[in-house]
Structure 1
């Protein structure tokens, strides 16, 4: 074959077109097979043990509704019991105090003027705007539109909780909103508790107005103060007792000692509660704690979280001043802080709640699952009145063996009523049984376990006096593969626990309701959370 033949073959190959013929569409086989799997339950054309047809979603659970009792017929000898409620007005507040939802109170206000007076006080006693609820933007705007026009409603507010603020609002709309908030806050002369944690939502004028409110006892604010408010004004609050600062900045740090000193110089004394929450910040250190300690003589509650330079020495400087009176203590035990060993602390005879977040030191080998030893758990101070203990492992989920727990629980008093072991993974029914049997007065329990199967065969769970039980799992299982499956699993647990009132797993929390049928059968029903306060599990995380 000479060179001319090679050129001829090359020309023929180049003449071939890939797109000859009509265009072709993809077969979409993936969708076809997916439909076949979905149809397999009814058509029986496709059988597979590996992937079964998922069940249809169950309707969302609704809160339990208890109807009013039927009135007594007219031919009876006396009047209906419900009619007697209107005759004896002193009974009305006792009956109405069982209502909790604002929507119910709004309806009750329409019954009569007397009921409206009671309902208004209850409706506006505690007002909140939370970002995880529906329509926080609209709610906040309409709330302050109403309040700035009705000073009498402002005077009814005792607790105000603002965790959302529309920072994206600009121009005239933002100016009007700020004016409404300013005027409404100036009229809240009976306000006792204020939570305003939305970063960059405060301004100097608004904060000065808040500082003049005469009855504010509890304050929780964002610590980002530079260019937004003057932290030294905190020292001018006439009734302030509890102060919680979220994410303080250097400007706040520079004023912290001064404001604590100013509050201590008041006639009624200084703070009773101090919480400083950071996010791995080195601003707050032992030096500041040592300087503040003499000015915190009235302290009852102390929290330091995320303060990487706070160690045992700084905490001891405060406990040496307030140890006999401290009731709540919440700390972040970093590896270098030495806060795992508090046995050398001054005795804490009044300590009721102790929270400790533990950071396990980084290990070279990450292949093997870490098992907790006694040295990974805290050595508690002398605290005979302890009733609530919260332990949290940050950054990992190590296993909690039975032997480690038996040694640790010897420190705990038998009157402990609340126990939280978050991310301390329970691996066996024996460990959970030992927890329940060693603490017979336990009413609230929050734990992490490996698998749902370890919960069901535990007699101690049925015999316990738990009112609240929350469990998270680290391993997947068919019994918790969906929200409906989790609810069924929790229902099976609730049927075994006679005193349980609240049960949950992960971010699901249910109310437990019981009733007895006419034939004597006891029915246990899980209902959606319907209360206005946060469930116990989420309060533990906040603790």
Structure 2
């Protein structure tokens, strides 16, 4: 008896379509028949992201918001909206100049601008189940957009550009009173001043706070200490590029925490940050007893020997699962010490699922030790010298549960795209990995690892390993600034 796809029980269809990753594939599935449409359309609209590198991305943004405005039943399906990396600027029509007009898909007249903005706002209003919104493109966030997002009663996660000047009124921000997750990128002084009333208004719900600056002094010990009494439920805390934030300010934030943080990021903080003093405080009060993820950076002024001892002490009682470390900016002289790496693995190897190293050279011995003793390792991001690449395959083969690998060469070699000879070498390394590895990256490129089984005439099978384009819509983890 020959079975056909149509003979499958209908209840299996949702389990099948959830493996379709590309929106274009889901869109095709929606057009198969009514049953496919029923189960595919929620997945197609559940997470909507448009990035700057998407072909005709700006035109797609306009079409998207017109669709959400005109078809409320589709807008109701949207739970995550990510327009931040691309959405064209919305300056007041009277302020448009020739350079501003070039940010638009076409040279919009005032009436066209009004129509696009109206569709945008109507589309957002129709997203009644919106849970998370990312809107980070500088100049694209306006007071009208913010005020409309405030009306989304189920919104729990917000990531925005904090440079408000001429675009939105920072006084609107504290009106988001039910946020669970808040991410600010490059906050202006006025936006930074809103952190205190904003944290007061979200004190009962806020669990995640990340602030990404670019060497700005606006987030300092005083600002962090002022919000500390109102963010006692935080479980994830990330500060990036805040050169006026020291161990004193961060300790004030952690010391009043009720549950203890699960994720902590300290990247590019003050050169006066005393890791030894911070470690002693946290260890004495058992502050990091729930910590599962940590992100650290070192700079050219860091005395590595003492710093590494303090970090090991800091993490001594943490149930660590994810370890991230890098240098600040373009500094490339530091190496990840083998003994330090081994100590991290000895203390936490039985739990570590991600070991991430950026802009710090590693030895092949350290990589082998990580792969061999981190028995549940799933993600490995490493910096490898060109001469060590040939020895990398056998190391990776030691990791039984490894799913994703990303290799960077030291920054002083540049981060250009993958040349043909390197691509062949990457494929050779991927073929030596275990079948669990499904994602492989090198410098700026990320590939999917495909394994195709072929049956031979004699009854044996061969597995052909190949690299194909990365299909998952979201940005790969290794390229994110804040890692959780």
Normalising by the smaller structure, the TM-score range is 0.7 to 0.9
Q: 2:371 aligns with which of 436, 460, 468?
A: 436
Does residue 224 (structure 1) correspond to residue 163 (structure 2)? The answer is: yes
Gaps of 5+ in 2: 90-99, 102-107
1:297 to 1:175, Cα distance in 2 relative to 1, 3 A: same
- For 1:495, the equivalent position in structure 2 comes to 431
- For 1:42, the equivalent position in structure 2 comes to none
TM-superposition CA deviations, 1:314-343 (whole Å, max 9, x none)? 111111122643111111244222247642
- For 2:451, the equivalent position in structure 1 comes to 514
Superposed, 1:80-159 pairs within 5 Å as 80-85=3-8, 88-159=9-80
1:457 to 1:200, Cα distance in 2 relative to 1, 3 A: closer
- For 1:37, the equivalent position in structure 2 comes to none
What secondary structure, in the 3-state scheme, does the structure 2 residue paired with 1:356 have?
A: strand
Kindly indicate whether the alpha-carbon contact (under 8 Å) linking 1:374 and 1:408 is maintained by their aligned counterparts in 2.
no
Q: In structure 1, what is the Cα distance between the partners aligned to 2:317 and 2:187?
A: 31
Give the superposition deviation at 1:476: 9.6
Q: 2:109 aligns with which of 171, 177, 185?
A: 171
Mean CA deviation greater in 453-462 or 125-134: 453-462
Q: In structure 2, what is the Cα distance between the partners aligned to 1:97 and 1:442?
A: 25
TM-superposition CA deviations, 1:237-274 (whole Å, max 9, x none)? 3531111011111111222101111222xxxx131111
1:141 to 1:211, Cα distance in 2 relative to 1, 3 A: same
- For 2:442, the equivalent position in structure 1 comes to 505
Q: 1:388 aligns with which of 312, 322, 328?
A: 322
Rg comparison, structure with higher value: 1
Give the superposition deviation at 1:496: 1.3
TM-superposition CA deviations, 1:176-217 (whole Å, max 9, x none)? 211111111122111000001111222222211111110000
What secondary structure, in the 3-state scheme, does the structure 2 residue paired with 1:307 have?
A: coil
Q: 2:233 aligns with which of 291, 298, 302?
A: 298
Give the superposition deviation at 1:454: 4.7
What secondary structure, in the 3-state scheme, does the structure 2 residue paired with 1:354 have?
A: strand
1:437 to 1:114, Cα distance in 2 relative to 1, 3 A: closer
- For 1:484, the equivalent position in structure 2 comes to 420
Q: How many residues align?
A: 448
Q: In structure 2, what is the Cα distance between the partners aligned to 1:220 and 1:136?
A: 20
Q: 1:469 aligns with which of 389, 405, 408?
A: 405
TM-superposition CA deviations, 1:129-156 (whole Å, max 9, x none)? 2112222111112212222222222211
- For 1:449, the equivalent position in structure 2 comes to 384
Mean CA deviation greater in 342-351 or 242-251: 342-351
Mean CA deviation greater in 450-459 or 413-422: 450-459
Give the superposition deviation at 1:464: 1.6
Gaps of 5+ in 1: 1-75, 363-371
Kindly indicate whether the alpha-carbon contact (under 8 Å) linking 1:405 and 1:431 is maintained by their aligned counterparts in 2.
yes
TM-superposition CA deviations, 1:369-415 (whole Å, max 9, x none)? xxx84335434334432100110112312233434533554554531
TM-score with structure 2 length normalisation?
0.86
Give the superposition deviation at 1:159: 0.6
- For 2:264, the equivalent position in structure 1 comes to 329
- For 2:139, the equivalent position in structure 1 comes to 200
Superposed, 1:204-215 pairs within 5 Å as 204-215=143-154
What secondary structure, in the 3-state scheme, does the structure 1 residue paired with 2:361 have?
A: strand
1:542 to 1:112, Cα distance in 2 relative to 1, 3 A: same
- For 1:352, the equivalent position in structure 2 comes to 292
Q: 1:285 aligns with which of 220, 230, 233?
A: 220
- For 2:94, the equivalent position in structure 1 comes to none
Q: In structure 1, what is the Cα distance between the partners aligned to 2:146 and 2:189?
A: 19
Does residue 254 (structure 1) correspond to residue 219 (structure 2)? The answer is: no
Q: In structure 2, what is the Cα distance between the partners aligned to 1:134 and 1:330?
A: 34
Q: In structure 2, what is the Cα distance between the partners aligned to 1:382 and 1:230?
A: 45
TM-score with structure 1 length normalisation?
0.77
Give the superposition deviation at 1:295: 0.5
- For 2:93, the equivalent position in structure 1 comes to none
Q: In structure 2, what is the Cα distance between the partners aligned to 1:319 and 1:140?
A: 40
Q: In structure 1, what is the Cα distance between the partners aligned to 2:360 and 2:216?
A: 25
Kindly indicate whether the alpha-carbon contact (under 8 Å) linking 1:360 and 1:376 is maintained by their aligned counterparts in 2.
no
Kindly indicate whether the alpha-carbon contact (under 8 Å) linking 2:372 and 2:398 is maintained by their aligned counterparts in 1.
no
What secondary structure, in the 3-state scheme, does the structure 2 residue paired with 1:425 have?
A: coil
- For 1:62, the equivalent position in structure 2 comes to none
Kindly indicate whether the alpha-carbon contact (under 8 Å) linking 2:384 and 2:408 is maintained by their aligned counterparts in 1.
yes
What secondary structure, in the 3-state scheme, does the structure 2 residue paired with 1:399 have?
A: coil
